[in-house]
Amino acid sequence: MTELFISLAVGIALSACSGFRVFVPMLVANLATRFEFLHLSNGFEWLSSPTATYILAAATVGEIMAYYVPVVDNLLDTIAMPASFVAGTILTTSFFKIDSPELQWTLGVLAGGGIAGTIQAGTGLLRLASTKFTGGFGNVFFATFENTISIIFSLLTLWLPIFVALLGVLLFVFLLKKVLKRVQTKK
């Protein structure tokens, strides 16, 4: 039971990190599984392949650099929203080891995808506000903050998965309230 809880915490924690940067937590998961620090569920062995390492490393560098380019950062947010949902779903599902694929994927979509998508929506709204009020000059600060959070918390997940998962859930609740409040004020 403890292993099941830890595997779910790892997936949720990495999913939360993919709400900040899509590829950083996927690369961390890839390297952690390649060096046998973490273990994947059956069917997700592709995530620990050398090919995945090269692709995820290139995608990570490209994503991090792109967020420092004005206008591109806001355009990237439109792509990152569905991509973070998919990454969060894959990360949670790939570490949650249970015998029921239906339950495994359902929890992956709801917990992993939901947390990643909500955090990405919150950071996208923050970047949009920054662009509006600073003409895009403040976005570099937010990009650096998001990069740092994604890298540090992805790495912390390897040692403190329950703590990082709890922080991810708390951030999810906070941002969900903010997004819902913003949607209600626009009506």
Q: Write the DSSP string, 113-163.
A: IHHHHHHHHHHHHHHHHHHHHHTTTTHHHHHHHHHHHHHHHHHHHTT-HHH
CA 161, CA 6: separation in Å to the nearest integer? 7
The structure's pTM equals 0.86
pLDDT score of 64: 96
pLDDT score of 187: 64
pLDDT score of 1: 67
pLDDT score of 171: 83
Domain positions in the chain: 2-186
pLDDT score of 122: 87
pLDDT tens string, the chain, 187 residues long: the values are: 678 888 888 898 999 999 999 999 999 999 999 999 889 998 999 999 999 999 999 999 999 999 999 889 888 988 999 999 999 999 999 998 888 999 999 999 999 999 999 899 888 888 888 888 888 888 899 999 999 999 999 999 888 878 887 888 888 888 888 777 877 877 6
**If we measure between CA atoms, which residue out of 136, 119, 98 comes closest to residue 173?**
119
